[in-house]
Structure formats: structure tokens, C-alpha cells
Structure 1
Amino acid sequence: MKPFLWSLLCCVLQLFSDVAHATYHLRAGDSELITAQSYAQTRHNGQPKLRTLNPTKTHSQCRSRPLDLVFIIDSSRSVRPAEFEKVRIFLANMVDTLDVGSDATRVAVVNYASTVKIEFLLKNHFNKLDLKKAIVRIDPLATGTMTGLAIKTAMKEAFNEQSGARPRSRNISKVAIIVTDGRPQDQVEEVSAEARALGIEIYAVGVDRADMRSLQLMASLPLEDHVFYVETYGVIEKLTSKFRETLCGRTKKGLQDLPHH
């Protein structure tokens, strides 16, 4: 029995030795792990947190430079009701990206076809909710495409101080965004040049059947920053982020980033 007891005792001692040895390494490993975690945490705390790609949050973090902004939208016969609804959504999304207010960005909408209708002026709405309610109420005019007349009306009646535009001494940028899907039935070159000479920066957005040459005649220079084209009204909302980049003073993108007509 003695040899058996001696063997049993040796096994027990060896087991205690192994456990102690493993415990030592485990504790050493824990120490290394804690040290590594502490180092990683220190590095993490020393760097800015990653921003979540949430469109709403991203928009709220962007303060656009103050603008007197007038949308000039084509609602002629070729723009079907479902397509015009996409235009309204685009306008509402654009409003969401802007820093709207009487001392920030003011927004107006000029609606046109054969006739021109000023839906609301720069002085009418100074918060996003009121602007979006007014946008919902816009109805298509459903006749021809008098783009030149619309630009002239915007220049004379929407960009003046009586309508809410700030005086030149304030150095507030004046911007017109034209959205059209057709070829103008009147002349746009001369009236657009006149508007630009008055300090109005013109962006031209063409959809589907829009005439690219007309867009280029209307837009400010450089054309690659001021002319946009999308294949259908169904994807016009994608332009919101591009305008957001431009109006927030970031990298400007234009024709080179979109499908050509």
C-alpha cells in the first residue's frame, strides 16, 4: 500500500503545481490584457468619435452659409403628377439640409410653365416646418415651358428687398436653383446673363428630356459646378447631398459625377 500512497501523493503535488503554474500565467495574461485594453482605451479617448452615417444627424450638423435661395421649378405638362411629387420631396429635403431663419437662409419658390407663379417669397417663412407646409401646397401649372420668363420673374420679383432679399451691403449670397425636364420655349441666355450680372448664382438641374445646351446657357460658371443632370425624377432626391456639399462650402460636384444626357 505504501508505494500506492506515495504515488497518489506525488500525483496530488503535481496537480497543485500545475494549477499554481496555470494560475500564474493566467494572472500574467490578465495583466497584459488589462494593460492592452487600457492602452487601447487611452488611444480611443484621444481621438474623435466616429460619426454615424445617419442622414438626419448629418444634416443637422451642417450649417449652410446664409443664402437668399430661390427655387425655380418647372411644372409644365410634361411633368406628371407623380414626378411633381418627387420635386416636392426634393424641395422638402433641401429645406432640411439648410440652416433656415431670418438671419440665416431664406427660401422662396417660383413655379412656372407657360405662366409664372410665385408660391412664396423670401420674407414669408423663416422656419422649416412652415416652409415644408408651403411646399406641400404647391400644385403643377401643367402647360408650356417658359423658363426665361420664370428667371426674369424671379430676378425682378423674388430677389428684391421688398420680397425679403437682404441688401447687397450684407454680402448674403443670392442663389437660384432651376429644375426643368424640357427645352425652354423662350430665350434663356440673355435673361440668365442679366441675372448673373446682378450677382445671382444659378444652378441648373436637368431631368430626363432636359436640353443640356439650355442648362449650360442658364448656369453660372464654372459649368461643372453648376449644371446637374439626372435620368428621372425618381432619383432627383440624390441631388440633395450634392447641393448640401456645395451650400455648406464643401467640395462642389456637378456634371462629371452624374450621367450625361
Structure 2
Amino acid sequence: MKKSILFNTFVTTVFLVICNQASGVTGAELICTGNPIDMVFILDSSKSIIYMDFNRQLEFVSFIVNHSDIGLGPKQVRVGVITFGDKAVTKINLKESVNKKVLNEKINKINQAPGGGNAADALNKMRNVMFQREQGARSGVKRVAIILTNGYSTDPVATRKEAKACRDEHIEIFAVGIGKIILFSDLYFIVSKPSIEFVYMAPNNKTLKNIRKKVAQLACNKGGC
């Protein structure tokens, strides 16, 4: 009788593990949970970003995905990804946020396509395409943008203009400076206000790992633009 109970318990445990893995559930502590958020990551794919730093951007996105309640439910977090070089390219739409497993598989397939630093086009595409209902965006839900870049834009004036248009539509913008050479001034001009609370510097991998939890906490809980 005891053996039968133990066997049934074992089978049930294995079944739950398999189900959790299939749905993308991980043992990571949830940082973004309880409140619906539409979150878009803008990744710098330009030639000024070395290959290693581009991969670190992907790791950063995966960290926040793994610590968020990802799904298409009304109170869950949806994630989208845009990369930019000569132009902006949509890699993942918000409506593709089925679960963590699906998102991480898509993130791992994102490749760097070096070119110019057209951050203005990325911000424009995020506002006019990504944050639209057709792509999975929701009305009345907090909208967050996290841009990872070294700050070097091909057209700083256009970038600042597009960033302001995003902020005017109540999109909260965070910036994470990537790499050893970061143009601080442009980052401070594009983020939400007060700028000092929305800009973080990550000149190396250790620093990036140290700040990612804090950025996630602020992005998921902070209010205002």
C-alpha cells in the first residue's frame, strides 16, 4: 500500500514538472507580477556594439522574462523586442508572449545585424507599431520601454524627438548603457523624468548582472513618465 502511494506521488510530481516545463514555468523569483504590463525591449544591433555585448543584451531580456509572470492573460506581462541598426526590425510582438518558454526560444534566435545606430526609427516603430492593439498591446495597461544601447545614434535630434513623442503617449522609458564607451548625454535626453532614475550604466558584464534586478523592479513598479 505504501509503495503504491509513493509511486503515485512520484508520478504526480513528474507530471507536474513536465507540465511546468512545457508552459515555461521556472523556479525564478517573480519580480513583475500582479499588475499587467506591456514591455518592449529596444536592442542596439549597430556596428558600434561588439558581438559579446549584443549577446549580453539578450541575456538581460531573458533575465527579466524569467522573473516575470509572462502570458496573454489580462493581468500578465507581455514582452516585445525590437533591434536597430540601419533600421528598426521587429523581432517579437507582444501578442507572442504565450509563456516564458516560447519567448526564450524566440530571444535565443535573435541575431545581430550590424549597421548604423537608427534609434529614432526603433522608438518610432515601438510607438506606432508595437504598442498597437493589432500587435497585442492593451488599452489602459502600463507601457514600458527598456532600451539597451551605447548611446551613439546616427541622428540624435530625431532620436530625442521620437523619445519625447513616446513619453507624451505615457510610455515609460528606461535606458541601460552597454559597453565600455557610452554616450551618456543622449541616454539622459531620451528617458523618462527625472532622468537620473531611469538611466543605468553597464560598462561590463558584472555591472549588467548587478543592475538587472533593480531595473526590473523599477520598470514593473514605478509610475509616471
* Aligned 1:146-165 pairs, distance under 5 A: 146-165=118-137
* Aligned 1:66-215 pairs, distance under 5 A: 66-103=36-73, 104-167=76-139, 171-186=140-155, 187-207=158-178, 208-215=180-187
Unaligned runs of 5+ in 1: 1-55, 251-261
Q: More helix per residue: 1 or 2?
A: 1
1:64: Cα distance to partner? Answer: 5.3
- CA offsets, 1:7-53, max 9 Å, x none? xxxxxxxxxxxxxxxxxxxxxxxxxxxxxxxxxxxxxxxxxxxxxxx
**C-alpha root-mean-square deviation of aligned residues, in Å?**
2.0
Q: Pick the structure with greater CA Rg.
A: 1
Q: Is the 8 A contact 1:204 1:215 kept in 2?
A: yes
Q: Which residue of 1 aligns with 2:203?
A: 231
In 2, the alpha carbon distance for the partners of 1:90 and 1:122 equals 18
Q: Is the 8 A contact 1:70 1:175 kept in 2?
A: yes
In 2, the alpha carbon distance for the partners of 1:219 and 1:71 equals 13
1:188: Cα distance to partner? Answer: 1.4
Give the residue type in structure 2 aligned to 1:77.
K
Q: Is the 8 A contact 2:175 2:200 kept in 1?
A: yes
1:93/1:78 CA distance change after superposition, 3 Å: same
Runs of 4+ deviating beyond 6 Å: none
Which one scores higher on RCO, CA 8 angstroms, separation ≥ 6? Answer: 2
- CA offsets, 1:207-226, max 9 Å, x none? 23221111111100121221
- Percent identity over the alignment is 27
Unaligned runs of 5+ in 2: 1-25
